[in-house]
Amino acid sequence: VILCEEDFALGGRLLADGGTIDGVPAAEWISRTLAELASLPDVRIMTRTTLFGVYDGGTYGAIERVNDHLPSPPEHQVRHR
């Protein structure tokens, strides 16, 4: 499973709207859920990544912004992949 989020933080509208899920504050629910997902061996979480296409054979196109958020990206390192 690959979970892509184009922003730097996962959580979508819950980050802004708050509220509760099953009686748990949204921020805590997000934190617990992400920790559980990150602990699973077959789950990859990719932030700053935009999925742009689905192709034959289960192939997906994505672009990951690796260093764009840094004020001074390191020399000779990729910015996108």
Average pLDDT value for residue range 9-35: 91
17 versus 56: which is more confidently predicted?
A: 56
Q: How confident is the model at residue 62 (pLDDT cuts 50, 70, 90)?
A: very high
Distance between CA atoms of 29 and 46, rounded to whole angstroms? Answer: 19
Distance between CA atoms of 7 and 12, rounded to whole angstroms? Answer: 9
Residue 45 predicted with pLDDT over 80: yes
Average pLDDT value for residue range 6-23: 89
Per-residue model confidence (pLDDT) at position 52: 93
Q: What is the separation, in whole angstroms, between the first and last Cα of the chain? A: 19
Q: Classify residue 66 by its DSSP letter.
A: S
Cβ pair 45, 38 in contact under 8 A: yes
Tokens of 75: 């020399």
Average pLDDT value for residue range 28-38: 95
Task: Give the angle 15-42-34 at the CA atoms, nearest 5°.
Answer: 20
Residue 24 predicted with pLDDT over 90: yes
